[in-house]
Structure 1
Amino acid sequence: MQNTLSKYTTKNLVLSALFTAIVAVCAQISIQIGPVPFTLQVLAIFLASLILPPKYAFLSLLVYDLLGAVGVPVFAGFTGGLSKFVGPTGGYLIAFPIAAFVTSYINTKKPIKNEAANASAALILGLVIIYTFGFLYLSWAANMTLKKAFAAGVAPFIIPDIIKLAIAYFLARAIKSRKVLNIA
């Protein structure tokens, strides 16, 4: 029994590290469109959330944040450092591990109607968590009204992020169905 448990723990730790790296790479695919850049982080975060168990999804994004906090240039534009957590995008960074955990947790529960409905609900809630932390923090950090922070930090991203959620869902299904990562 111990050997089986160790195997799955090791596998999940390795997958967590892999997703930490994937999020870091996706952060570099970035277009600055105001105080919050357009990146592919959301795609990678939600792919990790659909594949990893909740605590490992959380761990993956926590490690990403910690690497960035100590100065490893994993954040958008090859940046890092604690200053990113008090800047305009700090709320998004703080929300990433929370959203990953919640999304993975809901996704792993017995489906409400079916697997697609469960995953959709999980993904949308995760995105709402990121948006809520992000734009509230943006409002504070950039001294903006809530309306302006929403216009700058949420509104331009809604449609692209919904597309990223759909891509993450279909990629996760394809990976799981082919047992590419030996995930059942």
Structure 2
Amino acid sequence: MQDEARDHTAPPTEIVSTVERPGFAPTDLALIAAFAALISACAYIGAIPTGGSGVPITLQTFGVMLSGCLLGPVRGFLAVALYLGLGAIGLPVFAEHSAGLGVFSGPTAGYLVAFPLAALLAGFLVKYVAGRRRTRAWAVFLCSIAGSALVIHPLGITGMKLHFDVSWHEAFNYDTPFWVGDLLKTTLVAIVAAEVHRAFPALLRRR
């Protein structure tokens, strides 16, 4: 009888593993919403037009990369995706107070599509590659600049090439002015994220 009762009792390890795999907690949802709002606010700051592309320089990428570096790959991706969804349904959260699906066929389309993917990559690198070194600004800087260099700029260049029907070289030239600003914003992301991870070491444990 004791053996039968023991067979029907879940091992402690199974109970623990079940408890450790919850869905999104209210805190997660609040963070996703808060960072979507942060990116929206960043889109309004600056908005400096550049060269012949007409694509403005804003602090959007600061908010995008900070979301990934602080929240991790899943929550960071969802925060940026929520931001894009708000803009797509008509809320004026994009640069220069623009909104709607038409923005995704404009010159900034490549950058917008790249944002959640860049947050995903940067968050993955911070969480799984930098690991405990995420409390050091240089480690976060490398993770963030990787997301920008490998995702945002290539897709942004592709979007401008297709929109303006220009050569790759010309589209690359359109993108060049953004690099100086990105280096400054990435430095700021690294400093802020490293300090936050130092103060809240459990922030990336869940997602």
TM score, norm. by length of structure 1: 0.89
Task: Please tell me the residue identity of whatever aligns with 2:161.
Answer: S
Distance 1:170 1:155 in 2: 24
2:114 is aligned to 95
2:181 to 134, 153, 160: 160
AA matched with 2:36 = T
Cα separation, 1, equivalents of 2:69 and 2:185: 13
% identical equivalent positions? 30
Amino acid at match of 2:37: A
Query: How far did 1:53 drift?
Result: 2.1
After superposition, residues 59-138 of structure 1 pair within 5 angstroms as 59-111=78-130, 114-115=133-134, 116=136, 118-128=139-149, 129-138=151-160
Asked whether 1:26 is paired with 2:46, we answer: no
Q: Could you tell me whether the CA contact under 8 Å between 1:106 and 1:118 is conserved in 2?
A: no
> d(CA) in 2 for partners of 1:17 and 1:113?
26
Q: TM-score, normalised by structure 2?
A: 0.79
Shift in Å, 1:11: 1.2
Change (3 A) 1:80 1:171: same
C-alpha change, 1:112 and 1:55, in structure 2 (3 Å) is: closer
Distance in 2, matches of 1:9 and 1:165, equals 29
Deviates more, 1:6-15 or 1:169-178: 6-15
Residue pair 1:87, 1:142 contacting (<8 A) in 2 also: no
Deviation at 1:127, TM superposition (A): 0.4
Corresponding residue number in structure 1 for 2:190: 169
Q: Considering only CA atoms, is the larger Rg found in Structure 1 or Structure 2?
A: 2
Q: Cα offset for 1:121? A: 3.0
SS for the counterpart of 2:177 is helix
TM-align CA RMSD: 2.4
Matches within 5 A, 1:18-57: 18-29=34-45, 30-34=47-51, 35-57=54-76
Identify the match of residue 11 of structure 1 among 2, 18, 27.
27
Q: Match of 1:88, SS? A: coil
The CA deviation at 1:80 is 0.4
SS at match of 2:162: helix
Q: Say if 2:68 and 2:119, in contact at 8 Å, map to a contact too.
A: yes
Q: CA deviation at 1:50?
A: 1.1
Q: Structure 1 stretch 167-176 or stretch 56-65: which is displaced more? A: 167-176
Q: Which runs of 5+ in 2 are unaligned?
A: 1-15
Give the count of matched residue pairs: 182
Letter in 2 for 1:155: T
